């Protein structure tokens, strides 16, 4: 089972890094400045997926891949304004990333938006994950990187963008990895805090998501996060007439997380600290703002940089 999970994660991260140059910029800079010896020293705190909450898809479908690999379903989160639900999943072993899967509550959108989305997702007539051999790495990897429905038109994408930027992102990107997350508390000072890491990232030329402030902190003060804004990608859309047209849209981004040591374990020396000694799970108020890393008001800052 470990080989299967290793292969799935490798496939996801390989394509993600190709699509998000910021990953190489920040990781290579950490090596260059001596904060880590090699890229393998970076701990991946979590990865995230976005889905459509419609029959045959959504969390209930995608989660089957990771539950099969030994992940356990944990806490539920609700994002009322963005009309999203989410769960996080804990890994079978600590060196694997946590997984965060969200889904758009499509039936809460306007009728026109629902009609557009369902015109695509209705092409999926059964749960596609059930048909997979979940022990076959190539089969699962191929599924996670193939279209689930036809290429959307630019007009449909723009219409969805006006109502739900999350919907627009998913209608084009499908199951592309939304982000991976560097666990900054595993790095040496001054990069072992979000404040210090943000300074380092900005000095590397990265632009940060400032929705709700560049630093997002949970009410208990134990989960501190930040993120870059999504990198723009050239996307090919259907023109609705049998041809295609290309436009620049939001792709994926990089997140950074600092998990503080729980009070009961603060007496432990640093070399004895493991994941179980630190703040677990996620925080809806933090995640709500990090979702906006792909939103127009954030990615357009690239034009100003």
The tens digit of pLDDT for each residue in 209-240 reads 999 999 999 999 999 999 999 999 999 999 88
Global pTM?
A: 0.96
Q: Are 27 and 79 in contact (CB under 8 A)?
A: no
Torsion sign over Cα 108, 239, 176, 205: negative
- Residue 41 main-chain phi, psi, to 5 deg: -80, -10
Q: What φ, ψ does residue 106 adopt, rounded to 5°?
A: -55, -40
pLDDT value for 2 = 85
Average pLDDT rounded to a whole number, residues 289-294: 96
Residue carrying structure tokens 């790095």: 187
Residue 305 has pLDDT above 80, yes or no: no
Instruction: Give the pair of three-digit tokens for residue 238.
Output: 């259907």
Strand order of the β-sheet with 84-90 is 72-79, 84-90, 98-104, 44-52, 179-183, 253-259, 223-227, 216-217
Is the pLDDT at 304 greater than 60, yes or no? no
Average pLDDT over residues 246-268: 96
Mean pLDDT of 46-73: 98
pLDDT of residue 242: 87
Q: Are 5 and 96 in contact (CB under 8 A)?
A: yes
Residue 302 has pLDDT above 80, yes or no: no
Average pLDDT over residues 2-26: 93
How many whole angstroms separate alpha carbon 80 and alpha carbon 159?
A: 21
Question: Please, what CATH class does the domain formed by 2-303 belong to?
Answer: alpha beta
Band of the pLDDT at 303, cuts 50, 70, 90?
A: low
What residue ranges do the domains of the chain occupy?
A: 2-303
Please tell me the distance from the alpha carbon of residue 49 to that of residue 71, in angstroms, as a whole number.
Answer: 15
Q: Which of 187, 209, 253 is nearest to 25 (CA)?
A: 253
CA-wise closest residue to 104 among 90, 114, 94, 115 = 114
Characterize 93-131 residue by residue with b for buried, 16 or more Cβ atoms within 10 angstroms of its Cβ, and e for exposed.
eeebbbbbbbbbbbeebeeebeebbeebbeebeebbbee
Asked if the model's pLDDT at residue 71 lies above 80, the reply is: yes
Distance CA 71, CA 208 (A): 30
| Average of per-residue pLDDT across 146-164 | 97
């Amino acid at each position: 089972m470990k080989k299967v999970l290793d292969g799935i994660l490798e496939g996801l991260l390989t394509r993600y890094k190709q699509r998000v140059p910021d990953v190489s910029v920040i990781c290579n800079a950490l090596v260059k400045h001596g904060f880590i010896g090699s890229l393998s020293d970076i701990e991946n705190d979590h990865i995230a997926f976005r889905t459509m909450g419609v029959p045959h898809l959504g969390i209930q479908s995608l989660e089957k891949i990771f539950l099969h690999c030994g992940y356990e379903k944990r806490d539920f989160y609700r994002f009322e304004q963005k009309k999203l639900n989410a769960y996080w999943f804990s890994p079978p072993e600590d060196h694997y990333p946590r997984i965060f899967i969200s889904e758009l509550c499509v039936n809460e959108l306007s009728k026109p938006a629902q009609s557009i989305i369902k015109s695509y997702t209705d092409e999926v007539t059964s749960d596609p994950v059930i048909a997979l051999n979940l022990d076959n790495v190539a089969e699962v990897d191929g599924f996670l990187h193939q279209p689930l429905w036809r290429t959307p038109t630019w007009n449909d994408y723009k219409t969805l963008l006006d109502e739900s930027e999350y919907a627009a992102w998913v209608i084009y990107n499908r199951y592309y990895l939304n982000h991976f997350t560097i666990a900054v508390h595993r790095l040496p000072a001054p990069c072992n805090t979000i404040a210090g890491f943000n300074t380092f990232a900005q000095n590397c030329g990265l632009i940060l998501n400032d929705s709700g402030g560049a630093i997002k902190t949970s009410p208990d003060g134990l989960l501190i996060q930040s993120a870059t804004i999504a990198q723009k990608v050239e996307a090919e859309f259907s023109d609705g007439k049998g041809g295609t047209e290309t436009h620049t849209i939001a792709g994926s981004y990089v997140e950074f997380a600092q998990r503080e040591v729980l009070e009961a374990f603060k007496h432990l020396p640093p070399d004895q600290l493991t994941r179980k000694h630190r703040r677990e799970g996620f925080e809806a108020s933090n995640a709500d703002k990090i979702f906006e890393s792909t939103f127009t008001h954030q990615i357009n800052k690239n034009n100003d940089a």
